[in-house]
Structure 1
Amino acid sequence: MAKTLGLSVGTVSKALNGYDDVSQATREKVLLLAKSLNYSPNSYARSLRNKESKTIGLLVPEIVHHFFSNIIHGAVETAEKHGYVVIILESNESYDIEKKQLQLLLDRNVDGILMSLADNTVNYKHIGKIINEGTPVTLYDKITKSVDTHKVLINDQKAAYNATKYLIDSGCRNIAHIRGPLKPQTTIDRLKGYRKALEDHNFPYQKHLVFESKHFSFEDGKAIAGIITENFPEVDGVFAFTDLLATGVLVELKQRHYKIPEDIAIIGFSNWFLSEITTPKLSTVNQSGYEMGQESVKLLLQEIDNRKHDRPYQYQTIEIPAELVIRDSTKKIKSLK
């Protein structure tokens, strides 16, 4: 192209990339010839020259998951607006797969990484190593306090507190909680919120009414509901870690001829689409995955830009609001007289 136009390679390159020190006439001449030749710039070669790939990695625990699919949507849309491509990988809640996927992203020379920790992640040295070696990492949703970096999350403790408080205010007196393994901070904080709500309302924390789900599955919810009905008939409320668990509880209780919410009230977490199609419709805590994806990308790109220009920066923690969505699986709060 340079030879055809009688220009230097540098001038043609500057014209194609919109540099200001190339005249409008020269730029138009270069662009016209490029169009006639169906020329498109080699983005990989450009990335090598600029020492940036214009790609970011997004690691999710599960792709087929309502909440994480919304995060993907918000992240990809925001990244594309800033000229970035997103490589999406799944850890399948595995610590070993998480490490392999992170290495794959590094091998692809991504400019930064967004990640939510796998439930089975046992330590965080691999994440600290990535950050120390110069690749920015933003943690979202399932985070750890052990790594100093940007974080985007909801206030899980406050959200769980409000969910449990609603059950108390609606008349429940023996409230069970279904939690996950005590590894991600989200599980710990939701348990803390549940416990604090009980204590603030002068109800004893009963350890035997806290049940662990290892897989956060519909089947786990059904199984735990069976244990509750057979061993703890005093339970009149259930706060579940996810909507999928809560749905399992709801279905099992109905099969055992319990009236919901009259006999046992149920509240879940996440506001999945299925929470609106259960019978009765499931009360839950809404968390905006789309907004979390947006804010995570914004923080990551800010850090990438600051590092690129050697500007100082401070790590931030952004809290995404969460709110109760009250439907038919919980009793209505009677107005105070």
Structure 2
Amino acid sequence: MSQGSNFVDYVKICCRSGHGGAGSSHLHRDKFTSTGGPDGGDGGRGGHVIVKGNAQLWTMLHLKYRKHVIAGDGDPGGSSLSTGKTGRDEILEVPLGTIARDAETGEVLFEITKDGETKILTEGGRGGLGNWHFKTATRQTPRFAQPGESGREKWNVLELKILADVGLVGFPNAGKSTLLSVISAAKPEIADYAFTTLVPNLGIVSYRGNKSFVMADIPGIIEGASQGKGLGIRFLRHIERNSVLLFMVPADTGRTIKEEYEILLHELNEYNPELMHKPRVLAITKSDMLDEELQTEMKRDVPEGMSYVFISSVAQKNINELKDLLWRAINQ
């Protein structure tokens, strides 16, 4: 199975929480007591459907074929004020960066960003109260108890937005996968045609002094991606979570560096203006074919005030300088 088919970043699931158990209407009886008071216990609550963060997961493949998740029902209350057993909770483990939405309204319910963090997606029904709760001065032996609350059933969407320190932004063929394969231990598929990368690749980049940061290669955006052209919006959402954006413009582009950069920036702005506030670094790739003179000329075309570096992944040119730039940007 290729990585492409393993990477699942969107699932729609029908979640049904458990019904609460009924309260008991038991009256106390033993060999010394023939007309004792109420001692019926409360019903147990129904099971919740819970979402839990797991830092070891990077895909929701394990949830892809689970269309229905059903939690257990609570048990009814018993005599001697004993509370019924709580229904079995259903726990869905998800990668960090997962957002839960209501499938009908699209409303964001919560997001999971930490390992071990848990949130209730669908709450179980409350258990009914036993008859001892209803005892009053005038009503000494209530022979009724409360039924348990029904569980809830609703469709939810779980959607993954990758959490990474650096997101690579560039057109197909800008050299993003090649850089990732050189700078980290990730092994993305690389070929000389557009849209080789169909799923985001993550790589851990080791830095000086045993430090490291995470880099995500997001599939190439093309003009019109923000309107959903090409592989557009599905991938742009992964960029939202990165703390630094590394813009990659190849030296052999038919446009000037500034033109290429402006188009990429425009796509991001159209999709989500908040992305414009993230720190940016510019890498001019495939620059092993440039001589000094050409490189000096191209520098004049770099947008003002932009941190940039000329790199070549294949020739390992300026890779450490790029890491330094990125590390500074992440930690500013």
Query: TM-score higher than 0.5 here?
Result: no
Of structures 1 and 2, the one with the larger relative CO (CA 8 A, separation 6+) is: 1
Q: TM-score, normalized by length of structure 2?
A: 0.25
The structure that is strand-richer by fraction is 2
Greater Rg by CA:
2
